[in-house]
């Protein structure tokens, strides 16, 4: 008899998370704590539960730009080495407790130098936090491996510098590069220099594309910039007819097995999808695109990997085989080496789901 599928059983299933922002997943208690420590007095709420609700409500505007405004408060409390390491350690522990066995967590180092840290100091603090979190989780019997992704902000002009930073740390925990921030008006080709550099270095990158802007953004990310994966990519459905016929770009994305880092709750909040039930993930999964399930910003969406999967199971009737399929898609699409991916698939993911399906 298969284990009934609900939030508590999904929590025990091994999960893989490719798209999670460090500054979008801070514990509300930690925001309050660090704000008090550093004397940041602009928090919109005085206590953790009210603050948690404020983040969820404010992010629920239907606009990516307004959604992004909420990050000012988390970024403000992530300006010291101690603060950054704490947030990173807690992120690793929280994901491990949620049953995530492999996570790629991203953040933009350039946003964390306001109190005088250098980019290297920012990265060192975050990577140290991830290692501490992995260890603390392991001591509690929860195994997680965390890879870091260095993000550059698309409205700024530091992408080449951040790309070089990412490559300099490739053997110390940074596994990839990304660009994020407002999409409309900031096409990925603004950062071509960074992407060409990364390709020459045989490095990996993903691009937020097809979230608040449509097909041209996805096309540029793939065909001009050469992205390995698409952050969100929901708007690829604009190239699929109601009858399920694929246009040339959608066909290319599916044929090349380009991973889509889909973040259902976040997409509903920013207006990229009407509701979970109407989220393009249902169609894209049916058409066998390389779909993965992600959290994006656990704080702003009040969510977790378990919750995202439970919402999808509810909306689309997914079973363990579907959840395993999403998880293996994600593991295959991760930025770590093939041998490590295979080890997690065969040693952790398949046995985990086999036990739940039996
Ligand atoms: O969903 C998103 N789209 C574009 N940018 C985003 C999204 N979620 C977070 N960001 C931005 C805000 C953060 O400060 C930055 C780095 O994590 O990335
Ligand atoms: Zn994102």
- State mean pLDDT over 116-133: 99
Q: What is the pLDDT of residue 333?
A: 98
Domain with CATH 3.20.20.140 in the chain: 7-26+88-357
> Is there a binding annotation on residue 191?
no
Q: What is the pLDDT of residue 55?
A: 96
pLDDT single digits (tens) 28-74 = 999 999 999 999 999 999 999 999 999 999 999 898 888 999 999 99
Q: Is the pLDDT of residue 188 over 90?
A: yes
How far is ligand 1, taken at its centre, from the CA of residue 21, in Å? 7
> What are the CA-CA distances from residue 306 to residues 235, 248, 261 (Å)?
24, 34, 16
Q: What is the pLDDT of residue 162?
A: 98
How far is ligand 1, taken at its centre, from the CA of residue 297, in Å? 8
Q: What is the pLDDT of residue 109?
A: 98
Q: What is the pLDDT of residue 61?
A: 86
Atom of ligand 1 nearest to the CA of 23: 17
Nearest to residue 21, comparing CAs of 78, 61, 82? 78
Q: Report the nearest-CA residue for atom 18 of ligand 1.
A: 180
Tell me what the pLDDT averaged over the chain comes to.
97
pLDDT single digits (tens) 4-32 = 999 999 999 999 999 999 999 999 999 99
Is ipTM over 0.95? Answer: yes
pLDDT band at 1 (very low <50, low <70, confident <90, very high): confident
Superfamily designation of domain 7-26+88-357: Metal-dependent hydrolases (3.20.20.140)
Best of 181, 212, 308 for a ligand 1 pocket test (most atoms within 8 Å of beta carbon)? 181
Q: What is the pLDDT of residue 184?
A: 87
Best of 19, 68, 235 for a ligand 1 pocket test (most atoms within 8 Å of beta carbon)? 68
> Is there a binding annotation on residue 124?
no
Q: Is the pLDDT of residue 266 over 90?
A: yes
- State mean pLDDT over 172-188: 95
Its pTM stands at 0.98
How far is ligand 1, taken at its centre, from the CA of residue 68, in Å? 7
Active-site residue list:
211
Q: Is the pLDDT of residue 299 over 90?
A: yes
State what percent of residues in the chain have pLDDT above 70: 100
Q: Is the pLDDT of residue 183 over 90?
A: no
pLDDT band at 216 (very low <50, low <70, confident <90, very high): very high
Q: Is the CB of 220 under 6 A from ligand 1?
A: no
Q: What is the pLDDT of residue 330?
A: 99
Q: What is the pLDDT of residue 174?
A: 98
Q: Is the CB of 206 under 6 A from ligand 1?
A: no
How far is ligand 2, taken at its centre, from the CA of residue 29, in Å? 22
Q: What is the pLDDT of residue 212?
A: 87
Q: Is the torsion defined by CA of 330, 334, 338, 341 positive or negative?
A: negative
Q: What is the pLDDT of residue 2?
A: 92
């Amino acid at each position: 008899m298969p284990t009934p599928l609900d939030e508590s059983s999904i929590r025990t299933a091994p999960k893989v998370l490719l798209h999670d922002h460090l500054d979008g997943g801070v514990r509300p208690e930690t925001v309050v704590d660090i704000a008090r420590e550093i004397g940041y007095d602009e928090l919109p709420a005085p206590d953790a539960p009210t603050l948690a609700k404020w983040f969820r409500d404010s992010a629920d505007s239907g606009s990516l730009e307004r959604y992004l405004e909420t990050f000012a408060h988390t970024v403000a409390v992530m300006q010291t080495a101690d603060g950054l390491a704490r947030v990173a350690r807690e992120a690793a522990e929280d994901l491990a407790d949620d049953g995530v066995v492999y996570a790629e967590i991203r953040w933009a180092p350039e946003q964390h130098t306001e109190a005088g840290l250098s980019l290297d100091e920012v990265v060192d603090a975050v990577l140290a936090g991830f290692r501490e979190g992995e260890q603390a989780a392991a001591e509690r019997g929860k195994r997680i491996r965390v890879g870091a992704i260095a993000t550059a902000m698309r409205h700024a002009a530091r992408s080449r510098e951040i790309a070089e930073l990412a490559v300099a740390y490739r053997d110390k925990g940074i596994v990839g590069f990304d660009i994020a921030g407002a999409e409309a008006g900031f096409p990925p080709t603004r950062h071509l220099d960074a992407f060409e550099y990364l390709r020459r270095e045989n490095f990996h990158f993903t691009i937020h594309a097809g979230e608040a802007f449509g097909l041209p953004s996805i096309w540029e990310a793939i065909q001009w910039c050469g992205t390995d994966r698409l952050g969100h990519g929901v708007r690829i459905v604009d190239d699929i007819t109601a009858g399920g016929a694929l246009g040339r770009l959608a066909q290319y994305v599916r044929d090349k097995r380009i991973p889509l880092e889909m973040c259902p709750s976040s997409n509903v909040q920013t207006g990229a999808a009407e509701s979970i039930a109407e989220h393009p993930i249902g169609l894209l999964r049916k058409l066998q695109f390389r779909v993965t399930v992600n959290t994006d910003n656990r704080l702003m969406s009040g969510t977790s990997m378990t919750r995202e999967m439970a919402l999808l199971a509810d909306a689309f009737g997914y079973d363990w085989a579907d959840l395993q399929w999403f998880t293996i898609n994600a593991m295959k699409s991760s930025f770590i080496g093939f041998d490590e991916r295979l080890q997690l698939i065969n040693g952790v993911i398949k046995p985990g789901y086999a036990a739940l399906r039996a």
